[in-house]
Chain A
Amino acid sequence: MSVNDAIMDALTANDVGFVTTVPCKQLAGVIEKIDQSDEMIHVPSNREDEGMGLCAGAFMGGKRPAIIMQNTAIGVTINALTTLIQFYRIPLPMLISYRGEVGEPVACQVEMAVHTKALLAQLNIPTYHFHQPEDAEELSGILSHAYMARKPVAVLMDATFWKRQ
């Protein structure tokens, strides 16, 4: 199974009804599938903090939300994560394209990659690193963990993981 299909299966199995996305090359396939899905509302965001506002509203409207974004977004969403998502205890799985790891062709991406896990740790956000395509099997459990705990949860998916799309 492709990792994109595995991600879609996990989203569907967890009754995720609202997904917002900011694109990344590695995410193109899964974003297309989300857009075509009849089971979830897809609202593309212009910036990831805007997306977190949309997700907070969707949660209060009765849908399980998720955000799909690149790890550079951690740099622009710290305020939204702390003062909205964590302060109001809103569950938010973040499916993150982890750019800047081994295999990365763009040097600038490494600059944010070296801070990604440290920032997530500083924010006390449970963080999972998917390196092999098989790691996608854990996603369903991680999603239900996020909704149970009413917390933001980060899933970092690196270049090696995305090789088998």
Chain B
Amino acid sequence: MIRSDVLKTLVPLMSDQLVVANIGLPSQELHLLDDQPTNFYMLGTMGLASSIGLGLALTQAKKVIAIDGDGSVLMNLGTLPTIANNPAPNFILLIIDNGSYGSTGDQTTYAGMKTSLAEVAQACGCDNVVECAAEDTAAALQSALASDAATVIVSKCESGNIKVPVIDKDPVMIKERFMASVTS
């Protein structure tokens, strides 16, 4: 399974949840599969999806799912100790780990080589870290949503992309409708 296959299996679970989607293909694929006001699409700023998600989870009560990539987590590795030491029971960091920089031509990341992001997250002090195969991601997300504990899921999937259009929505509109769904 590639990332878009994984996202397809997650749509029924995520449709009515607050989702912060990482820059590039993760946002574009989610936008194509299931555009919702509860989705915050990052149009730039690689690396900060998990930080935005944590800030959102710490300041309001609804569950927050941040969909990140292995390359983006590697770019902002400092996010993992921050997540570990500021526990937000309503926060789920879902790392779609295809071992490559999917949006830029599938170059291999270090997570696709020797580095285990699940072990890094554990070493940073994250209490609930689940590494799963791509086809088990929906079940892992379902149990994370059912629990009241900050969870990091590392979903190991294959590298590869589908053809998707760029998101042409205005960033302020994305933010405003997202904020309206945070308070609704």
Chain A residues close to B by CB (< 8 Å): 17-18, 41, 43-47, 49-63, 65, 79-80, 83-84, 87-90
B interface majority secondary structure = helix
Say whether A50 contacts B82, CB under 8 Å: yes
Per-residue CB contact flags for chain B residues 143-184 toward chain A (1 = under 8 Å, else 0) read 000000000000000000000000000011011001100110
Say whether B58 contacts A49, CB under 8 Å: no
Complex formed: what's the CA distance from A55 to B86 in Å? 14
Contacts of A65 in B (CB 8 A): 55
Partner of A58, one of B42, B56, B178: B56
Closest to B76 in A: A50
Say whether A61 contacts B51, CB under 8 Å: no
* 27 A-B pairs whose Cβ atoms sit less than 8 Å apart in the complex: A18-B55, A43-B86, A44-B82, A47-B76, A49-B48, A50-B47, A50-B48, A50-B82, A52-B48, A53-B49, A53-B51, A53-B76, A53-B79, A54-B58, A57-B51, A57-B53, A58-B56, A59-B55, A61-B57, A62-B60, A62-B183, A63-B59, A80-B45, A83-B45, A87-B44, A88-B171, A89-B175
Chain B contributes a number of interface residues (CB within 8 A of A) equal to: 34
User: Smallest CB–CB gap between A46 and chain B, Å?
Assistant: 3
Given known A50-B78, A90-B175, contact A41–B58 (CB-CB < 8 A): yes
- The answer to the question of B40 belonging to the interface, with a C-beta cut-off of 8 Å to chain A, is yes
Complex formed: what's the CA distance from A80 to B42 in Å? 11
Complex formed: what's the CA distance from A33 to B154 in Å? 37
Say whether A53 contacts B48, CB under 8 Å: yes
Contacts of A46 in B (CB 8 A): 78-79, 81-82
Contacts of B54 in A (CB 8 A): 43, 54, 57
- The answer to the question of B52 belonging to the interface, with a C-beta cut-off of 8 Å to chain A, is yes
Complex formed: what's the CA distance from A34 to B80 in Å? 23
Interface pairs A-B: 5 shortest CB-CB: A57-B55, A53-B51, A61-B59, A46-B78, A83-B44
Contacts of A87 in B (CB 8 A): 43-44, 171
- The answer to the question of B20 belonging to the interface, with a C-beta cut-off of 8 Å to chain A, is yes
Closest to B85 in A: A44
Say whether B55 contacts A56, CB under 8 Å: yes
Contacts of A60 in B (CB 8 A): 40, 52, 55-56, 175, 178-179, 182
Closest to A85 in B: B45
